[in-house]
Amino acid sequence: NLPRKDSNAVTMGARENLCISGNDESEGQEAVRKIKEETVNGKGTILYAIVPTFLHCDLASMKSIRQFVQQFRAKNCPLHVLVNNAGVMLVPERKTEDGFEEHFGLNYLGHFLLTNLLLETLKQSGTRSRNARVITVSSATHYVGRLHLNDLQSRCSYSPHGAYAQSKLALVLFTYRLQHLMTADGSHVTANVVDPGVVNTELYKNVCWATKVVKWMTAWLFFKTPEEGASTSIYAAVSPELEGVGGIYLYNEQRTKSTDVSYDEELQRRLWTESCKMTRISDVGSRDL
């Protein structure tokens, strides 16, 4: 599980190809090294046919995302699974290089643009018997989120908690709208959203000192390890039970009901349209295909 800003997204192509993207070269290459070690035994025998690579991608930069997609496409690899997993939480009010409020810009718009730019590759890779899959990591925080379509950048009144919750709600709305469009288009692509639970990672580095102390004292009891936190994303990515199944919210590998407002199809459509304007891409979702 890679829930930090410097570990933006994980994309999986054919079974033997694993592409890890992030904005920290050293951490990315370290992840590649560890995967290689775990897939080869002490005698040099390859245990799993996995070839990991790292490509730089900063989801806080529209330019970086487009460059990443160009590099990925140049590999001419199929794309069977895309895991949108980057995130920042409770950061002070600040903007990405494109001028977006950081929670909304990185947590949501970055994934929105990345997924849309890779959508044709996903469609080409999916088949009737093996759909391509998009897995997006949200959070239980989305249950208290409010989507302010007239102020998505939180300019009127900034709250780190409110901005974070809004970005996580936006990811759920995006997932459901994406699934609707893929179904209407007859594409062999499914989109699901997962809640990893409370995971002990660096995502909490911006919380107040008192919360950090409590976290330090109770993490062993109440927090999941990164490996445990990744389990639902992995389940969504590879489980045969979810073949051809999309538009669902998963927690602890179980289908769960998301907040009521997330099922508002008009809100899903309006957010999609506004997101296309912000990222300057064609709005194929403005109509039902």
> What element of type H or E holds 277?
helix 265-279
Q: How far apart are CA 236 and CA 249, in angstroms?
A: 10
Q: Which of these is catalytic: 108, 164, 235, 249? A: 164
Per-residue HEC secondary structure of 79-91 comes to CCEEEECCCCCCC
Q: Which long-range contacts (CB under 8 A, 24 or more apart) does 69-73 make?
A: 69/114, 69/117, 69/118, 72/11, 72/19, 72/118, 72/121, 73/121
Is residue 249 part of the annotated active site? The answer reads no
Pairing between strand 132-137 and 254-256? Answer: unpaired
Which residues are known catalytic residues?
Answer: 164
